[in-house]
Chains A and B, each alone.
Chain A
Amino acid sequence: MSTTILEERKSQIHRAGAGPIDLACNRESLAGAVSQRACVFCGSRVVLYPIADALHLVHGPIGCAAYTWDIRGALSSGPELHRLSFSTDLRERDVIFGGERKLAAALEELVQRHRPKAAFVYSTCIVGLIGDDLKAVCRAAAARTGIPVIAVQSEGFKGNKRAGYLAACKAMFELVGTGDTAGIDPASVNIFGDFNLAGETWIIRDYLRRMGVEVVANVTGDGRVDDIRRCHGAALNLVQCSGATLELARMMQEKYGTSYLRVSYVGIEDMADSLYRTAEFFQNSDPGILVRTQALVRSELVKILPELSRLRRDLEGRKAAVYVGGAFKAFSLIKAFRHLGMQVAIVGSQTGTPEDYEELAAISDPGTIIVDDANPLELSEFIKEKGVDIFVGGIKERPIAYKLGIGFCDHNHERKIAMEGFVGMLNFGLEVHRSVTSPVWRFMPRRAADSADRSKEVEAC
């Protein structure tokens, strides 16, 4: 296989230290690309999916519902309605004659049976083409059933995942401001852009509780409709994940004057920094908050640091490749890997913006490959070039990493262990350790030689 990188792709790849970065990004994948990217519908679905007491009805052919049926581990502490798959399963007849009546009937039946707090109706490619008036059907259903029925304008072809985030934010914004804000503490926040994968939102909620901050709504993880309706009563929005919910925070700032902070719960520095900045925000009204936060950070770090340094002994000098959805997570992961003594040699994202990539270039070590919307061939070439030991990515990259005989860590929606918070840093370290030091790689031809060398060194000692 040649190592050709298509001329058109060269502007989407950069090596840190090689002049100023000017990465072409947030554009459509090239036609014919083996792209790791998804569509508008996918973006909307991932953001709204964790609202557990809402009905999520996919208006389209069966595939869109089938492929998004309970594939994310967004945990709920109560209702599980979001884990079912509901679809109008459009057939040829519907495509010709329109699917509005089918949609109305489906909504009627579902709302009657499940009595959800709200309903999200997702538009798909085909709905955008045949021109079903989703909004009108939803309005009528809302009037009949008395619950909010919200059209999510997520036609797949109308952009990339980022456009889907925006559609989801607009949908959620219809709920915001419709609930009673009485009794909300002045020191209160909403958690945006955390999906409660493996229960991560619960970790963050616990930190905030210990700091004395009330969480009004954890919108996108273990989410509840009633919480979202009154979340404009919170003093501050904590926005994680670069793309997903930033727009909702902006809309709330404009309409309700709610401030927001961009945070990350991944890695020690970013986690601590997020808590400190939250504390600073409230320190005028609650002078004790900073001290409480310092105590919290200290007590959490004491629990994990000894174990981390043990892991570091084995991982020192190893190399990682990071290819994740949002660039914001990539920043945090670069820092997290430094705690393990590891260097990120390749970093990329699906949805980064020019500012994101500038920042990536700034914090990356010289020589680091920075790539937007990579394809498997490029990734595989870079991995071999850099001698990477572990790949951090999503489901499609996992078997590629394994074929290359290197470790893998799912930092995407299929992770099974919490990787946020201080405890999450330790979990992450353990996961990296589990994979990087696995004996299986010794049986892989390309690395068998390395490992023989290494065991000789050990014998020599």
Chain B
Amino acid sequence: MLLRHTSAEITERKALTINPAKTCQPIGAMYAALGVHGCLPHSHGSQGCCAYHRSALTRHYKEPISAATSSFTEGASVFGGQANLLAAIENIFAVYEPEVIAVHTTCLSETIGDDLPQITEKARRSGKIPEGRHVLYASTPSYVGSHVTGFSNMVKGMLAVAEPTGTKNGRVNIIPGWVEPADMEEIKRLAALVGVDITLFPDTSGVLNGPLSGEFHMFPEGGVTIKQLKSTPDSIGTLALGEWCSADAARHLDSLFKVPCRVLEMPYGLKATDRFIDALRKIAGVPVPEEVNLERGQLVDLISDMHQYFYHKKVALVGDPDPLIALVEFLATVDMCPVHVLTGTPGKRFEKKIKQLTAGMPFNVNVRSSADMFLLHQWIKNEPVDLIIGNSYCKYIARDEDIPLVRFGFPILDRVGHQYFPTVGYKGGIRLLEKVLGALLDRKDRDDSEQSFELVL
């Protein structure tokens, strides 16, 4: 019993986080920056931050993660990190030759008050940024928000290069939020099917799910280009997928350049995908193409085939707000009961939203933001569930309580597939349900007595 220290009795904890359900902002900024073509993320802080983020992303994506660091020392921490960052920018362009450097701060550089806009401007004026190269930046203090906030901040930071030409180009910006590279690919596929030209940013497909080529490319093929980012104000609109991950950037484009935006849920599951497709369709002014309708029909077909097995199965979910909101809706759609829903990311709006989504359902829902996996485990001890959906760290609870686990979210450290198979869209919904059913039915087969063990399910 690895988690033998977890007690069922729940006491309020204000000073202590046990087994976190979040991590800090900079890693989110690093992931987002990897979705810009030719970009080297840069961590403005101690060496350790950068090493940890690279390791964590490497374990999840199983791809080389390159990022540079300002290598703070005691001196930098006393006198400010300006000299380090200026030297870093110069060195990076000289050695690694990226098209873009995306700088994010850390708790250290935030607290000593390094001013990224000013330092970047100084680098530009003193010629440290070669012609045609760019430095993006985002302020990502580790003690505010979570990794999700850092992602959102860097996405917003990308808009610093935006340059309206005054002529609309008919494209639509889509901000996918923190989803897998395969999901970004799927969003592009769906938009193409509906016939909408999109600019997806960030876009980690082709960056973090690349092929084995025999070469190490620090900057793989994929990623949104600076040219595309520049033209985002010329788009006719922006679809932001996820309030936490994507809305800030979309609203920023709206307020600066009057690009109208809509904030949708991430397209996980039937209804959220319906809304996404509907939004795309309306922009294109076309009916939903037959191919997309077919995929939708297949998803509904799967649900109907297996609905008996979904019926009122209790599920505990942990992860980031945007995916959780969509997932909770999806589970309710297939008649499952999301009874415990928890995120480490702060935000009372999250609790409100989940309560709205589950209002009137025949079960009580525990929901909490700014919470941790220790609390989730305590909830499960008090009200057991049939299934856990969450990242790899859930496997401790799953093992101790003998509950099946479907891995979803970040990080996944012990399985593969998340890089390659999307879970967004109708096809993604089919995959999600296949995983859920697989877990539930494997369990049934394991637990059924010999007499009731059935070949056909």
Residues in A lying within 8 Å of B, measured CB to CB: 1-2, 4, 6, 8, 28-42, 60-69, 71, 80-81, 83-92, 94-95, 101-103, 105-106, 109-110, 113-114, 124-126, 128-130, 156-160, 375-377, 380, 395-396, 398-400, 402-405, 443-447
* Interchain CA distance A36-B50 in the complex, whole Å: 9
Give how many A-B residue pairs fall within 8 Å (CB-CB): 252
CB contact under 8 A between A32 and B89, given known A395-B58, A404-B216, A444-B212: yes
Contact between A83 and B2, CB atoms less than 8 A apart = yes
In the complex, residue of chain B having the shortest beta-carbon distance to the beta carbon of A99: B15
Partner among B20, B42, B215 whose Cβ is within 8 Å of the Cβ of A87: B20
Q: Is B111 an interface residue (CB 8 A)?
A: yes
Q: Is B146 an interface residue (CB 8 A)?
A: yes
Some 9 contacts from A to B, beta carbons below 8 A apart, are: A2-B97, A32-B92, A41-B48, A63-B49, A91-B143, A156-B108, A158-B74, A395-B55, A404-B215
Residues of A within 8 A of B71 (CB): 28-31, 33, 35
Contact between B58 and A157, CB atoms less than 8 A apart = no
Smallest distance from the beta carbon of A308 to chain B beta carbons, Å? 30
Number of interface residues of B (CB under 8 A): 81
Contact between A39 and B17, CB atoms less than 8 A apart = no
* Interchain CA distance A157-B4 in the complex, whole Å: 35
Return the 6 tightest CB-CB contacts between A and B, nearest first: A39-B48, A63-B24, A32-B88, A32-B91, A446-B214, A105-B15
Contact between B54 and A396, CB atoms less than 8 A apart = yes
Contact between B89 and A400, CB atoms less than 8 A apart = no
Smallest distance from the beta carbon of A173 to chain B beta carbons, Å? 23
Residues of A within 8 A of B212 (CB): 402-403, 405, 443-444
* Interchain CA distance A380-B144 in the complex, whole Å: 37
CB contact under 8 A between A109 and B15, given known A39-B51, A396-B65, A446-B215: yes
Contact between B14 and A105, CB atoms less than 8 A apart = yes
Which residues of chain B (9-55) have a CB below 8 Å from chain A? 13-20, 22-24, 26-27, 40, 42, 45-55
Smallest distance from the beta carbon of A130 to chain B beta carbons, Å? 7
* Interchain CA distance A307-B349 in the complex, whole Å: 62
Q: Is B213 an interface residue (CB 8 A)?
A: yes
Contact between A84 and B17, CB atoms less than 8 A apart = no
Residues of B within 8 A of A128 (CB): 77
Most buried by B among A31, A64, A160: A31
Smallest distance from the beta carbon of B243 to chain A beta carbons, Å? 21
Residues of B within 8 A of A124 (CB): 107
* Interchain CA distance A317-B94 in the complex, whole Å: 37
Chain B 42-85 interface mask (CB, 8 Å, partner A; 1/0)? 10011111111111101100111111111111101100000011
* Interchain CA distance A90-B25 in the complex, whole Å: 13
CB contact under 8 A between A376 and B216, given known A4-B95, A83-B2, A85-B20: yes
Contact between B74 and A157, CB atoms less than 8 A apart = yes
Residues of B within 8 A of A33 (CB): 68-69, 71, 91
Smallest distance from the beta carbon of B234 to chain A beta carbons, Å? 33
Known: A4-B95, A39-B51, A157-B76. 16 other contacts (CB 8 A): A6-B91, A32-B42, A34-B68, A61-B143, A63-B142, A69-B20, A90-B107, A91-B144, A106-B16, A109-B13, A113-B5, A156-B49, A157-B46, A396-B55, A403-B210, A444-B214
Contact between B68 and A62, CB atoms less than 8 A apart = no
Contact between A69 and B393, CB atoms less than 8 A apart = yes
* Interchain CA distance A173-B54 in the complex, whole Å: 32
Q: Is B439 an interface residue (CB 8 A)?
A: no
CB contact under 8 A between A126 and B16, given known A157-B76, A445-B213: no
